[in-house]
């Protein structure tokens, strides 16, 4: 406003010059500034203006970027950072840590820093600092920031003043993952509008972990907790790879965006809430700061509250205005394996369906970056006795007709599978686009819940000699989006217990994306820590499935004793430990606050063996009873003692800190890989997993495949049955031949 006013004054008095103009402009600035200060001082929210701008530091590692290798063939690296809908970046700087080759010429070589296409700096590479890590601070112009931002690093490297090879090994620089981006961010006030959902409560522009407090009244009912858990699972699905935490609060409001749940009879005392007559969803300002929003979900009673929650997660795309009422919700249960994040099991799937954009399947350059496609396969895919999953691969590329060593390499999770030579097509000219099709089997040993297909094009540049040509890289390569992967011929069958499947994909609960056959067991008088664990687990299930857990059940330990035909997920708590103690004959470990009973099974193998695990001969494990102080936590998996082929996974521990240790372990990628078998003990930073002898099976197979699979694990029984079958067949053949002989002998006299 002041800048506009100054400009207007300049137009009115264009003849003013020198000192007179300076004095007049200074007077205007003082007057306008004084008015602004006076307005700020009288504002009811003046106390928040001081803290409105905050400082944020983000390491490259926290943004999902590892160390960047800039080489002659691939001289580009990039890191992405988002700015939230309610954030304005007012200042930014880059603290860059890098190491570069001592062979490059310092007067010709540099690294360009580019923000959203705008060059921010060209960093020289002095000879004296080559070969060791240095730190450079680069200011970034905040005017060039937008919702999604890319900071790119281009290496311009030269090792000689004359003829040089752009692919020379001496052209390199490495940018450390410990480099940082420092932002100064101003929080903006958003309008109260449900059309912004899920923002600002979840903002897809941000790639950090979602922390979304949930505000509850004192002693919330179990039905209210179930409703809040459904919303947590929805936000967990939205957060996806970022992870999500939902700290509960009672009768106090956090100083950040939050969710709040209320009925006419039970409401948070710190939040002014009016009675409602229908299920209602509204967004409102925090009572003390209009920049903080509260998403308030209300109902006249618990039944209406549940309907409001269902309306939110199913109909958020049509909600508008500051408030909306839900009149009717119709919901049909999802079918098994109808999971948005898993590859469909009933048809071939195009690779173009598995990426955000077809552009991500295209690369440029003779040494381009990897093309990656994430596959989330059903965890219980029955690949036994199969060579692999069929992939129909189509690809295109440009190349020179002289190329002989060009190839496409296909890998799965960094395991090399196959390479295809990219033979030139002389009839197509020097830069011919070629489309090819090949059939590939992804071997069963490379499969798991999370699989990444990797395609590496390596095109060849033909060199005719130094200084004989000028190289212009116009190479392009692409995986066709119509390439398909097909798992429709595979059955679903798994051997359990296997905590690796639970930790990596939420199996067996996630067979139904809405958790329709899952019952979560929460202590009868849950603490805030137990409630937080409930929200975390449901949010993680949403992350695995991509859907809200609308159909799960919430029980207390007393109700769980009668729960049949459901899979039970038992959360931490003293009365939960007592429930497990009643089933201790099924458990390798039983924990209470001071005692632990441990029947030591075999140490679980490093990799989950899944269907390859044989039914072992039951051994007698050692048993130890311990009384000790200190913290210990465990995940225990076993077959439900209430229903055959139903599963139980229990979170158990000595105290509140143990409960936190389990949730932290499930959020740590490194620790998740260590969780396997039927028992995973967490002590401090260590995770130890064990595998017992008892197994059970979940899923369906044709009878003949079921017989063959189970007999394959018992060779002695297979031999015995084969011998019995051979004897029976021989006896039958003997009897048949005897009857045939009798018939012929009986007919001979009549002839």
Which tokens belong to 72?
């002659």
What pLDDT score was predicted for residue 39? 33
Residue with more model confidence, 286 or 15: 286
**What is the Cα–Cα distance from 49 to 493, expressed in whole angstroms?**
59
Residue with more model confidence, 582 or 615: 582
Of 314-323, 451-460, 540-549, 560-569, the range with the lowest mean pLDDT is: 451-460
Residue 260 has pLDDT above 90, yes or no: yes
Of 2-16, 555-569, 642-656, the range with the lowest mean pLDDT is: 2-16
Name the β-bridge partners of 711.
Answer: none
**Mean pLDDT confidence for 180-194:** 92
Whose CA is closest to 255, among 215, 219, 208?
A: 215
Q: Long-range contacts: 161-164, Cβ < 8 Å, 24+?
A: 161/105, 161/108, 162/467, 163/466, 163/467
Q: Which CATH number fits domain 349-465+472-485: 1.10.3720.10, 2.60.120.260, 3.40.50.300, 3.40.50.880?
A: 2.60.120.260
Q: For 307-324, write each residue's pLDDT tens digit.
A: 999 999 999 999 999 999
Tally of residues, the chain = 751
Question: Predicted confidence band at 79 (pLDDT cuts at 50, 70, 90)?
Answer: very high
What pLDDT score was predicted for residue 591? 83
Residue 401 has pLDDT above 60, yes or no: no
Q: For 370-381, write each residue's pLDDT tens digit.
A: 899 998 999 999
**Mean pLDDT confidence for 61-81:** 86
What pLDDT score was predicted for residue 24? 33
Answer left, alpha or beta for residue 675, where phi above 0 means left and psi between -120 and 50 means alpha: beta
**Topology adopted by domain 194-325:** Chitobiase; domain 2 (3.30.379)
Share of the chain above pLDDT 70, in %: 85
Residue 729 has pLDDT above 60, yes or no: yes
The angle at the Cα of 193, spanning 192 to 196, to the nearest 5 degrees, equals 120
Name the β-bridge partners of 59.
Answer: 180
Check: CB of residue 634 under 8 Å from CB of residue 649. Answer: no
What pLDDT score was predicted for residue 118? 94
Q: What is the mean pLDDT of the chain?
A: 83
What pLDDT score was predicted for residue 424? 59
Check: CB of residue 151 under 8 Å from CB of residue 115. Answer: yes
Share of the chain above pLDDT 90, in %: 52
All residues at 6 or more sequence positions from 488 whose CB lies less than 8 Å from its CB, including other chains: 345, 346, 347, 348
Residue 280 has pLDDT above 90, yes or no: yes
CA 601 to mean position of chain CA atoms: 32
Residue 27 has pLDDT above 80, yes or no: no
Question: Predicted confidence band at 469 (pLDDT cuts at 50, 70, 90)?
Answer: low
Q: Exposed (0-12), middle (13-18) or buried (19+): which is 364, by Cβ within 10 Å?
A: middle
**Sign of the torsion formed by the C-alpha atoms of 312, 314, 316 and 318:** negative
**Mean pLDDT confidence for 604-613:** 49
Highest mean pLDDT among 36-40, 167-171, 241-245, 402-406 belongs to 241-245
3 state DSSP class of 559: helix
3 state DSSP class of 335: coil
Residue with more model confidence, 475 or 303: 303
Residue 182 has pLDDT above 90, yes or no: yes
**Mean pLDDT confidence for 219-230:** 96
Highest mean pLDDT among 79-93, 508-522, 643-657 belongs to 508-522
Residue with more model confidence, 465 or 654: 654
Q: Long-range contacts: 574-583, Cβ < 8 Å, 24+?
A: 574/523, 575/523, 575/524, 575/525, 576/521, 576/523, 576/650, 576/651, 576/652, 577/652, 579/521, 580/636, 580/650, 580/652, 583/638, 583/641, 583/648
Of 498-512, 589-603, 638-652, the range with the lowest mean pLDDT is: 589-603
Residue 347 has pLDDT above 60, yes or no: yes
Q: For 130-180, write each residue's pLDDT tens digit.
A: 999 999 999 999 999 998 899 999 999 999 888 887 778 899 999 999 999
Residue 430 has pLDDT above 70, yes or no: no
Q: For 105-130, write each residue's pLDDT tens digit.
A: 999 999 999 999 999 999 999 999 99
Q: Are strands 258-263 and 214-216 parallel, antiparallel or unpaired?
A: parallel
**Sign of the torsion formed by the C-alpha atoms of 538, 542, 545 and 549:** positive
CATH of domain 53-187: 2.60.120.260
What pLDDT score was predicted for residue 358? 86
Residue 13 has pLDDT above 70, yes or no: no
End-to-end CA distance of the chain: 124
What pLDDT score was predicted for residue 34? 37
What pLDDT score was predicted for residue 541? 97
Single pTM value for the model: 0.83
Residue with more model confidence, 685 or 586: 685
DSSP state of 616: P
Residue 628 has pLDDT above 80, yes or no: no
3 state DSSP class of 79: strand
**What is the Cα–Cα distance from 458 to 366, expressed in whole angstroms?**
6
Question: Predicted confidence band at 464 (pLDDT cuts at 50, 70, 90)?
Answer: low
Residue 470 has pLDDT above 60, yes or no: no
What pLDDT score was predicted for residue 32? 33
Residue 31 has pLDDT above 50, yes or no: no
**Mean pLDDT confidence for 412-439:** 71
All residues at 6 or more sequence positions from 236 whose CB lies less than 8 Å from its CB, including other chains: 244, 538, 539, 540, 541, 542, 543
């Amino acid at each position: 406003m002041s800048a506009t006013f100054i400009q207007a004054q300049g137009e009115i008095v264009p003849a003013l010059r020198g000192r007179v103009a300076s004095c007049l402009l200074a007077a205007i600035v003082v007057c306008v500034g004084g008015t602004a200060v006076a307005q700020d001082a009288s504002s009811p929210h003046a106390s928040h203006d001081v803290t409105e701008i905050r400082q944020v530091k983000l390491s490259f590692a926290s943004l999902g970027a590892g160390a960047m290798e800039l080489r002659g063939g691939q001289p580009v690296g990039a890191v992405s950072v988002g700015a939230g809908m309610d954030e304005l970046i007012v200042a930014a700087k880059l603290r860059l840590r890098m190491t570069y080759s001592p062979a490059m010429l310092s007067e010709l070589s540099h690294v360009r820093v580019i923000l959203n296409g705008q060059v921010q700096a060209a960093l020289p590479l002095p000879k004296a600092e080559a070969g060791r890590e240095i730190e450079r601070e680069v200011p970034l112009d905040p005017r060039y920031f937008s919702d999604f931002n890319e900071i790119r690093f281009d290496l311009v490297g030269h090792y000689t003043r004359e003829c040089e090879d752009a692919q020379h090994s001496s052209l390199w620089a490495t940018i450390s993952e410990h480099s940082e981006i420092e932002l100064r961010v101003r929080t903006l006030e958003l309008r109260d509008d449900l059309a912004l959902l899920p923002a600002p409560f979840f903002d897809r522009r941000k790639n950090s972990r979602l922390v979304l407090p949930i505000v509850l009244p004192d002693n919330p009912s179990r039905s209210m907790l179930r409703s809040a858990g459904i919303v947590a699972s929805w936000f967990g699905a939205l957060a996806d790879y970022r992870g999500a935490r939902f700290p509960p609060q009672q009768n106090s409001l956090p100083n950040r965006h939050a969710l709040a749940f209320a009925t006419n009879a039970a409401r948070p005392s710190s939040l002014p809430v009016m009675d409602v007559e229908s299920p209602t969803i509204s967004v409102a300002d925090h009572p003390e700061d209009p920049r903080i929003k509260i998403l308030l979900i209300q109902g006249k009673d618990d039944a209406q509250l549940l309907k409001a929650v269902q309306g939110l997660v199913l109909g958020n795309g049509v909600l508008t205005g500051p408030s909306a009422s839900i009149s009717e919700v119709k919901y049909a249960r999802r079918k098994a394996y109808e999971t948005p994040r898993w590859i469909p099991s009933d048809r071939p799937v195009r690779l173009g369906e598995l990426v955000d954009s077809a552009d991500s399947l295209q690369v440029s350059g003779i040494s381009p970056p990897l093309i990656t496609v994430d596959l989330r396969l059903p965890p219980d895919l029955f690949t036994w006795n199969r060579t692999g999953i069929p992939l129909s691969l189509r690809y295109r590329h440009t190349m020179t007709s002289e190329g002989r060593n060009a190839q496409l390499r296909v890998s799965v999770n960094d395991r090399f599978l196959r390479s295809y030579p990219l033979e030139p097509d002389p009839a197509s000219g020097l830069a011919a686009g070629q489309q090819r099709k090949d059939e590939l089997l992804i071997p069963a040993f490379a499969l798991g819940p999370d699989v990444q297909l990797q395609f590496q094009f390596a095109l060849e540049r033909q060199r005719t000699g130094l200084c004989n040509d000028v190289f212009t890289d116009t190479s392009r390569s692409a995986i066709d989006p119509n390439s398909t992967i097909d798992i429709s011929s595979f059955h679903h069958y798994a051997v359990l217990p296997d905590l690796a499947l639970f930790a990596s994909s939420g199996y067996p609960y996630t067979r139904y994306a809405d958790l329709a056959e899952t019952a979560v067991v929460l202590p009868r008088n849950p603490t805030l820590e137990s409630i937080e664990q409930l929200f975390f687990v449901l949010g993680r299930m949403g992350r695995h499935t991509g859907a809200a857990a609308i159909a799960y059940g919430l029980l207390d330990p007393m109700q769980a004793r009668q729960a049949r035909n459901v899979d039970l997920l038992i959360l931490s708590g003293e009365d939960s430990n007592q429930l497990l103690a009643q089933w201790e004959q099924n458990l390798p470990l039983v924990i209470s606050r001071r005692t632990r009973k441990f029947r030591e099974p075999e140490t679980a193998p490093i990799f989950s063996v899944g269907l390859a695990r044989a039914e072992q001969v039951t051994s007698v494990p050692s048993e130890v009873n311990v009384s000790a102080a200190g913290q210990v936590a465990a995940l225990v998996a076993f077959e439900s003692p209430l229903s055959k082929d139903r599963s139980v996974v229990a979170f158990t521990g000595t105290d509140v800190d143990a409960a936190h240790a389990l949730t932290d372990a499930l959020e740590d990628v490194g620790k998740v890989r260590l969780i396997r078998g039927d028992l995973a003990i967490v002590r401090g930073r260590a995770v130890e997993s064990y595998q017992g002898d008892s197994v059970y099976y979940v899923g369906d197979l044709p009878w003949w495949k079921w017989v063959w699979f189970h007999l394959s694990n018992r060779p002695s029984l297979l031999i015995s049955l084969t011998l019995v079958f051979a004897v029976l067949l021989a006896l039958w053949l003997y009897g048949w031949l005897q009857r045939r002989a009798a018939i012929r002998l009986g007919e001979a006299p009549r002839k």
